Structure 1
Amino acid sequence: MKQFRKKLPLSLKIVISFFILGVILLTFLFILIIPNIKKKDYESAIYQTEKIVLLTRQEIKLVVEYFRRYGKSETNIHKMDISNKLEKIKLEKKYNKKYNNFYADLKNISDNYICNIRLNNNLIFKNSNVTKSYSTDIFQKNKWIIKSAVNYETICPHRKYYLYKTKIENNNVYLTCDSNFKLNSFNIEADVKKTVQKGFELTQNIHDGKIYLIWIKKGINNMDISFDNLENKNNKNFCVSNISSIKIPKTGELKVKDVFDVDNIKTFEHKLKKQDALTWVSRIYEDENEKFFLILTSFKKDFENSLNNSFFNILPISIIALIISICLGFLLFRRWIKSIEKLSLTARNICNGNLSLRSNIKGDDDIGVLGVAFDTMLNTLEDNIKQLDLKVENRTKELTQSLNEKETLLKEIHHRVKNNLAMTINFIKFQKYKVDENSTKQMLTQIENRVYTMELLHRKLYESKDLNFINIQKYISELVSDITKSFDDKNIDISLDIDMFSMNIEYAMPCGLIINEALTNSYKYAFENKIEKQIKISFKVENSKNCTLIIWDNGKGLPKDFDFNSAKTLGLRLIYSISKNQLLADFNYEYNKGAQYIIKFKIIEN
């Protein structure tokens, strides 16, 4: 790709540059203008939707108020008509000896007013639209009472029946009438549905939201939950109108209390199905038992998608302007392109190592002055490079000699430290043979092992080609082998699982000291009356940085809630101190059928 760009002619590069510049300018234009246009359109759409909700609410409120009043008046008229007809039958029955239309008049009431009529305990006229019957005990003489057609508590509008009882001569007449009394009576939900659909059609060009009507019962115990989580058996707490397109309100994070507390109209921004949504809640009416709301919910993205047309209206004009700008720019700069291409060709050859090439561009204009200055600069550069190469060669020889001297000196230091530590170990061994007390011998053995850990490290460094790094696998294997020889117990099975890894001396020495102290502690204290004795040492390295050292034995372990800071033995305190202070490690001890130390640390490169 880079070679392809280098081979492009300068004229094409300039055209591409103008194109990119034009695209940047257009992008900058869109960033400034399009969001402002979208913001205004978005606010306008929100305002328009809110106006439609208010208008629909007002229309529904008028329809509901009208039918509630009209329905109550019409119901009273029907009850009065039925009562008058029954009184007329009573009078005819009492004073007109020729009256023989008793059953016909009762049937006329049953057919015209949707009523079941019982004479004493016998059902004499049944209307197919009356599906519920009631015990005669609940009827009250010459008084209309209303009863629900369902046997459970519900807030949804449902069928109700008016019950009436009267006495004609010696017969009790029981009427069970539909609350509407007439088949062609008013239907409030149908009229409200027309109003809601009309309002919804006005917003369909803006969004695809859901609009619905809902009754919410007063006195719900817990309103700080969503409608999805509210217990609503038989619609006892809330009811979505049958004219709505949904059965359960989809309000997302909105709580029942948020909707219930709205007095007039309120807009909520919330999450619905993990998306940003808007919900308009408008209260239509309130009575002693319930509140009636109009709710419209829509996703924000519906509003935003309807506003993208402004971008596509501006895009064609912007593209035409971009093309014209590129053509004009190319015409203006064409005169200088040839000279610039020659300078570019010369520069590429210089980069490839041909320092003797020159552009030879002359002239009094800016490009001519640039060509002369460029050639002069190349002459100076060529001379400076020759002098610099000579200085670098001499300096390299000096640094090589100095480095060899320092490596020799460092190797000699490791050799002397190793010899001094080895001599110290021999002094300790010599002193140990002269001491008879067992505790003093053990203490000298511990000191000997600790010094040996450091001596072994310097010995390996002296033998290594790299004076700062040591093969940790060989180091730990040889260290464990020599520590084991310093104890009399030869029945301990020691297994090693060490990664092959070259480790810096700053981390290798603390690891060796920790292993020495842990092994010594296991040999001395772990195995009391234990037949099968095992010790496992694991050292793993991930990504050349993350190290994990695990030391385990199947001995008796440490006491529960053991505090390493207050340990009586120096070895355990050293394990904890070296891990925390030198390795900066995460130190964990756990009982896993024996003592187990887990030390995790990270190698930080200087």
Structure 2
Amino acid sequence: MIRAILTLPKIQAKNEKEVVDYVSRTLGIITNQFAMTGKSIKMQAQLEMDLNRQKIALELLTLKSKSQNKSLEEVLERFSQNKVLSLCNQTTSLESQTQRFHYNQKDVLNQWLEVESSQLNKTYKNKKYYFYNTFFPAQNITLSMACTRQELNKGHGPFEKSLKAHIHTKLLEDSTLPSTQTALFWVNNRMKSQMDEPLYMQNEQRRKERYTVSLLSNVRNIPTGNLSLQNILNAKQNEPIEHEIEGRRVLTWIINLSNNAKGQYFFLAHTIDKKEIQQRNNAGLSFLLTETLIAIGLSFLIILFLFKKAFTKVDTITKTALLVNQGSKNIRSHVKGEDDIGILGQAFDSMLDRFENSIQTLDKKVEEKTKEISKSLKEKEILLKEIHHRVKNNLALTIGLLELQEEEVQDSKTKKVLIEIQERIFTMELLHRKLYESSNINDIPFKEYVIDLVQAIARTYDMNKEVKVDIVMNALQMNIEKAMPFGLVLNELVTNAFKYAFKENPSPTLLISICEENEQLIMTIHDNGKGLQKSFEEIQNNTLGLKLMSTIVRHQLFGKIVYEYDKGAKFTITGEFQNA
């Protein structure tokens, strides 16, 4: 009896050490479980975000394709009432931009733009915004979407809570230790300046400035008592820290789950009341030593068996997740069972089934919409070609009527005016002819157009081919909105050169240089004639041709005309241009 009493403190100390070792080993296993949980959460988040972004892009594409003949008000109403597009914030190019859209780049169209803001999320990382802009040409408006990670990942909260119920709570809770508290929490990097102060904070607002508790925790606040951030960082993973919480002596295990490469703090804190451990040990002292040893041995074998079984299932789920991450879609883990890992495996396979079905449905819808859009574009292309053909024919008919009228007119001034009108109409007729002949109905080969235009002018004013004409330019594709004003200006300058520059000139030459530089088209017409008698600014309003040219350059090309005498008249025209 005396011997038993003398050995009682040793048995109590041994039992307490066994509880500590047991919890330490269990937490070692739990660390791997949380690593797998983190992968599951990230995978679920990425899959749901990708699916929602694809849905949003498809809805905008569908809205755009159905809005060709709709009014602006109808388009905006459909945009605001669309159920899929209501997941995120919306705006248009007509509205003033909110703070969230301050980070948007509206010129990036039809693709998702990921922008990192200066704001911090609950894990103290820079908050990210996802923007998607679509331009509606029929309404001349840009519709923009701005999404956060939470808005694109609505299923994150329920998924995380289900993992907590099946993985975290059942593995960590012990019915014989009812006061057990477990918290996963992020610590703000700014706490580095307060390393020696107690980390725990009762006030909720001030607490958010220090740390954030994860939903996987079974408490709302961290069970660290008077421990400082320095104490937490110095804690050994397999050894608890003994300290006080509200007058109670407790043991707290700290596991650092941080990814040090990212410079963030993420911890798991597991706290047990030391008094409860002692009460548990006292209750077990009534059993015989042999029975205790047998129980411990059986417990160890059971834990080893369960660990081996759980590890096999976890390894299978992890390998399946890696294969899915590499692009495999029709692979499943086939992990089943009534335990937590089996339930997780079934939930993971079910999620993959829904994801694969959603992808197939989305691919089918995209294919159908693409066919519809391609058919519509082909019909519009045929219609535009017919329009350009008819415009060309009408302009050619107009030129023919003017030629007939010219033959009947006797007054030289009237004839001159009719010829100038014919030349300008020919400039426009040639543009529509090039568009009709081009395989691309939106743009014309501008170099070919310039050569044909200059040759037509030369046939009119230089029938003996005495003027040497050099054209220096690279191949350019230009839409009719820019080609028309550039062509009219070129027609005026080249015509004037042939008419006035080469009188009494034995070797007339004309150099035409056209180049693109910084979204500007620079066109230079340089002859070796006698030049202007006065400055260009003095005479630009004296004739209709020069006045027309100045107006076109200023108001349509948003550029300028520079004249200088360099062994002949040299005109340099600069205007806005964006290469197709």
- The TM-score with structure 1 as length reference comes to 0.44
- The TM-score with structure 2 as length reference comes to 0.46
Larger radius of gyration: 1
